[in-house]
């Protein structure tokens, strides 16, 4: 009779499989933990209220396009944005706001008053804005009707 104790050889395979499974489970647990810590809030805090008012927004955009849309030109050399109103607004006394909206971070948004010069234009300084995609939203009124225009710009360093 052969001694079975002498024929047993030591193998690492069962231990390696168990260690791999433990490492994989730890990786999945870490992934779930990090995913749960991510902020998945909406970009805008009052998103649902904005959706209800969306038809009014469509009407404002149509009125703006009918009279001529706002021109937005970004100059990387001067780090400025030039807003130019069409000539059709020249006779109107316009008041409103300009919102510099950062889609990736709502904490960087800036709101400025609409202060047009004699040539129906306004120059905005962008030196303090981070580089990336920005939306220039111009909401204005002539006292009777409201208008809205939105353009996307790429701020470069």
- 15 assigned to some structural domain: yes
Is the pLDDT assigned to residue 120 strictly greater than 90? no
Q: 72 and 99: one domain?
A: yes
Is the pLDDT assigned to residue 109 strictly greater than 60? yes
Q: Position of tokens 């749960």?
A: 36
Task: Note the pLDDT of residue 10.
Answer: 83
- 4 assigned to some structural domain: no
| Total domains in the fold of the chain | 2
Q: 26 and 61: one domain?
A: no
Mean pLDDT of all residues in 131-135: 91
**Domain containing 52: what range?**
47-155
Q: 131 and 82: one domain?
A: yes
Q: 53 and 100: one domain?
A: yes
- 123 assigned to some structural domain: yes
Mean pLDDT of all residues in 32-60: 80
Q: 30 and 60: one domain?
A: no
Helix (H) or strand (E) holding 141: strand 132-141
- 94 assigned to some structural domain: yes
81 with 73: CB under 8 angstroms?
A: yes
At 5, is the pLDDT very low, low, confident or very high (cuts 50, 70, 90)?
A: low
pLDDT 10s digits, 142-154: 888 899 999 999 9
Whichever domain contains 94, its CATH number is: 2.60.40.10
Q: 55 and 130: one domain?
A: yes
Which residues pair with residue 129 across a beta bridge?
none
Is the pLDDT assigned to residue 3 strictly greater than 70? no
């Amino acid at each position: 009779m052969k001694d079975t104790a002498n024929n047993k050889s030591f193998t690492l395979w069962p231990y390696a499989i168990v260690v791999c499974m433990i490492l994989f489970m730890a990786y999945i647990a870490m992934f779930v933990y990090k995913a749960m810590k991510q902020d998945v809030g909406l970009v805008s805090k009052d998103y649902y209220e904005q959706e209800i008012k969306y038809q009014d927004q469509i009407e404002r955009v149509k009125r703006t396009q009918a009279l001529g849309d706002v021109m937005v030109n970004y100059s990387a050399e001067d780090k400025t944005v030039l807003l130019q109103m069409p000539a059709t607004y020249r006779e109107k006394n316009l008041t409103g706001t300009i919102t510099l909206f950062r889609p990736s971070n709502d904490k960087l948004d800036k709101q400025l008053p609409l202060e047009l010069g004699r040539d129906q234009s306004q120059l905005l300084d962008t030196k303090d804005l981070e580089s990336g995609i920005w939306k220039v939203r111009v909401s204005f009124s002539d006292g009777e009707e409201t208008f809205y225009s939105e353009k996307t710009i790429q701020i470069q360093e």
